[in-house]
């Protein structure tokens, strides 16, 4: 008789593409089960918010990086495509698995699917358990004194800091057991995550997807950006943000590792300013979990009657491609198109321009960001767009319309960010780049090929305010 092999546990990787600080992987090891790393490509199970093309391009590289890390330890990633439940059940059967472990995702469609999968797996006699792998605080962990979910960031974050208790850090396992090929496996390349043609080539000068890339980004941030973060983070002309967003979205680094490594570095108020940004990510997941309709519909139903402009494909396309004639807006949209990322200050500016000056529904902007950002994240995207549009949580006491010229002067004072992304304006003196049409004849002559503004900023602002005022009586 041959000795029976160690029973296995499937570790179902999703948006947690790392080996350190991985609760589901640790659970398998702790239970004495041999981990079988599994990835299942099933975008059709994500409802209306299947990952976009930029996100897929990142995911391809991140999965390849995870596979390489696993192979260094004797294991590898087993890749499948199809129905998640059926795949898990069949892989569990063919590998003799006793359990399936994964880390939670909180997107509404995924959460529903996973609840069903857990139930079904348990009915098959398997242990099935989900863990927190992506947040400092589970969305249900914090509540107001009245027992409600938070709707305002500041009290949310105060409560979070009071409850602060991040878990300890876990190294990646040194060695993982080798597994025979599993029936039904496919090659990573067969998932079709990489774009054709390869328009993403320009992305990878700036990004290293995967756990190592995430660690490098964090270290670079701590070494050279953290000490000026509170001011620097608002300056798109300087590279002073952490650029951790895609790494966090794909779970290439745990937020509690970011927080813990930060603890040992930098001035306290700079550290607090950065942690606060991690806090917005936590808040977004909290809000999405408690208000699952917010990716698609207004958080505040009062705005359901807001008079958005008539759909105009040409205006939307001008915005998407960075041809609005408003320099800071075009710079941001072109940065997004070229690199799969946009500086957060500029995200607010382009979003305000779309929803207030063009008065195009925030949903169109959210969709474009979802498709083009490498860090596209349903929770962050929904919160951000609704915050700017004024339809969401953390509402301002007035109808806020960003002035893109003032914002550019304030946060890109020399017009360097504009010049980087809008070459038509490079010949202008620095101060003229923010509003070339106001720069006189000399300015005009230098702006070859750069469009006139597609909308009058002052007029459209007043129109938006008027549309807002019309909501009042209702």
Asked if 416 and 237 touch (Cβ cutoff 8 Å), the reply is yes
Site for DNA in 232-251 (CB under 7 A): 234
The residues facing 127 across adjacent strands are 99
Site for DNA in 286-325 (CB under 7 A): 300, 302
245 has binding-site annotation: yes
The residues facing 63 across adjacent strands are none
376 has binding-site annotation: yes
The least distance separating DNA from the CB of residue 137, rounded to whole angstroms, comes to 14
Which of 280, 319, 362, 421 is in the footprint of DNA by CB under 7 A?
Answer: 280
Q: Which is nearer to DNA, 127 or 302 (CB)?
A: 302
Q: Does 407 bind DNA (CB under 7 A)?
A: yes
Instruction: Provide DSSP, 389-453.
Output: HTSSSS--SS-----HHHHHHHHSTT-HHHHHH-GGGTTS-GGGTT-GGGSHHHHHHH-TTPPPP
53 has binding-site annotation: no
Q: Which is nearer to DNA, 39 or 387 (CB)?
A: 387
241 has binding-site annotation: yes
The least distance separating DNA from the CB of residue 470, rounded to whole angstroms, comes to 12
Q: Does 49 bind DNA (CB under 7 A)?
A: no
Distance separating alpha carbons of residues 217 and 211, to the nearest angstrom: 10
Three-state secondary structure call for residue 9: strand
Q: Which stretch binds DNA (CB under 7 A): 98-106, 155-163, 184-192, 416-424?
A: 155-163
Which of 149, 166, 177, 325 is in the footprint of DNA by CB under 7 A?
Answer: 149
Distance separating alpha carbons of residues 240 and 417, to the nearest angstrom: 13
Q: Does 273 bind DNA (CB under 7 A)?
A: no
Q: Which is nearer to DNA, 228 or 344 (CB)?
A: 344
The least distance separating DNA from the CB of residue 135, rounded to whole angstroms, comes to 17
Which of 394, 416, 424, 463 is in the footprint of DNA by CB under 7 A?
Answer: 394
Q: Which stretch binds DNA (CB under 7 A): 43-51, 108-116, 153-161, 305-313?
A: 153-161
Which of 13, 137, 156, 319 is in the footprint of DNA by CB under 7 A?
Answer: 156
Site for DNA in 171-210 (CB under 7 A): none
CA dihedral 43, 18, 164, 386 (to 10 degrees): -30
Q: Does 466 bind DNA (CB under 7 A)?
A: no
- Which x/- pattern over 116-145 shows residues binding DNA (rule: CB under 7 A)? ----------------------------xx
Among candidates 294, 290, 284, 293, which has minimal Cα distance to 380? Answer: 284
8 has binding-site annotation: no
Site for DNA in 335-364 (CB under 7 A): 344-345, 348
Q: Does 113 bind DNA (CB under 7 A)?
A: no
Q: Which stretch binds DNA (CB under 7 A): 19-27, 114-122, 146-154, 166-174?
A: 146-154
Asked if 160 and 279 touch (Cβ cutoff 8 Å), the reply is yes
The least distance separating DNA from the CB of residue 146, rounded to whole angstroms, comes to 6
Q: Which stretch binds DNA (CB under 7 A): 87-95, 216-224, 313-321, 400-408?
A: 400-408
Instruction: Provide DSSP, 142-192.
Output: ---TTSPPP-SHHHHHHHHHHT--PPPP-PPPS--------TT---GGGG-
Q: Which stretch binds DNA (CB under 7 A): 1-9, 87-95, 390-398, 437-445?
A: 390-398
The least distance separating DNA from the CB of residue 384, rounded to whole angstroms, comes to 9
Distance separating alpha carbons of residues 60 and 363, to the nearest angstrom: 27
Give me the residue label for tokens 């390869």: 198
E-state strands within 244-401: none
Q: What angle do CA 455, 461, 463 make, to 5 degrees?
A: 90
Asked if 305 and 471 touch (Cβ cutoff 8 Å), the reply is yes
Which of 119, 458, 459, 470 is in the footprint of DNA by CB under 7 A?
Answer: 458
Distance separating alpha carbons of residues 155 and 282, to the nearest angstrom: 13
Distance separating alpha carbons of residues 461 and 355, to the nearest angstrom: 10
Greatest Cα pair distance, the chain, in angstroms, is 92
Q: Which is nearer to DNA, 104 or 356 (CB)?
A: 356
Q: Which is nearer to DNA, 299 or 319 (CB)?
A: 299
Three-state SS sequence of 227-260:
HHHHHHCCCCCCCCCCCCHHHHHCCCCCHHHHHH
Q: Specify binding-site residues for FAD.
A: 229, 241-245, 274, 375-377
Q: Name the residues that contact DNA, by CB under 7 A.
A: 144-146, 148-156, 159, 234, 277, 280, 300, 302, 344-345, 348, 394-398, 400-403, 406-407, 410, 458, 461, 469
Q: Specify binding-site residues.
A: 229, 241-245, 274, 375-377
């Amino acid at each position: 008789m041959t000795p029976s092999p160690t029973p296995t546990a499937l570790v179902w990787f999703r948006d947690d593409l790392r080996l350190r600080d991985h609760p589901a992987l640790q659970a398998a090891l702790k239970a004495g089960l041999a981990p079988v790393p599994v990835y299942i490509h099933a975008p059709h199970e994500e409802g209306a918010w299947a990952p976009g093309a930029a996100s897929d391009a990142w995911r391809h590289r991140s999965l390849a990086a995870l596979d390489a890390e696993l192979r260094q330890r004797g294991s590898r990633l087993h890749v499948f495509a199809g129905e998640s439940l059926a795949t898990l059940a069949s892989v569990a059967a063919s590998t003799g698995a006793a359990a399936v472990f994964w880390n939670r995702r909180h997107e509404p469609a995924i959460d529903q699917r996973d609840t069903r999968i857990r139930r079904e797996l348990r009915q098959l006699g398997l242990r099935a358990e989900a863990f927190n792998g992506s947040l400092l605080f589970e969305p249900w962990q914090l509540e107001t004194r009245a027992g409600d979910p938070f709707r305002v960031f500041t009290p949310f974050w105060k409560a979070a800091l009071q409850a602060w208790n991040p878990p300890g850090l876990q190294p990646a396992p040194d060695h993982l057991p080798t597994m025979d090929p599993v029936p039904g496996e496919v090659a990573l390349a067969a998932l079709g995550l990489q774009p054709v043609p390869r328009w993403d080539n320009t992305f990878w000068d700036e990004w290293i997807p995967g756990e190592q890339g995430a660690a490098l980004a964090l270290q670079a941030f701590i070494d050279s950006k953290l000490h000026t973060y509170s001011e620097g983070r608002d300056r798109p002309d300087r590279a002073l943000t952490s650029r951790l967003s895609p790494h966090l979205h794909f779970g290439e680094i745990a937020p509690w590792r970011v927080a813990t490594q930060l603890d040992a570095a930098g001035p306290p108020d700079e550290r607090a300013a950065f942690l606060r940004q991690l806090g917005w990510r936590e808040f977004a997941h909290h809000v999405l979990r408690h208000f699952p309709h917010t990716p698609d519909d207004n958080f505040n139903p009062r705005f359901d009657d807001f008079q958005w402009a008539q759909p105009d494909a040409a205006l939307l396309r001008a915005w998407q491609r960075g041809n609005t004639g408003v320099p800071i807006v075009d710079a941001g949209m072109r940065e997004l198109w070229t690199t799969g990322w946009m500086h957060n200050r500029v995200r607010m500016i382009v979003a305000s321009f779309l929803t207030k000056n063009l008065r195009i529904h925030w949903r169109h902007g959210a969709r474009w960001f979802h498709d083009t950002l490498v860090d596209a994240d349903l929770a962050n995207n929904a919160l951000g767009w609704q915050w700017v549009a004024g339809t969401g949580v953390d509402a301002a006491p007035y109808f806020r319309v960003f002035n893109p010229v003032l914002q550019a002067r304030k946060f890109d004072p020399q017009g360097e960010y504009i010049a980087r992304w809008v070459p038509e304006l490079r010949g202008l003196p620095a101060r003229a780049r923010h509003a070339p049409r106001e720069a006189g004849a000399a300015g005009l002559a230098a702006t070859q090929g750069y469009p006139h503004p597609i909308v009058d900023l002052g007029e459209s602002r007043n129109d938006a305010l008027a549309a807002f005022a019309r909501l009042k009586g209702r």
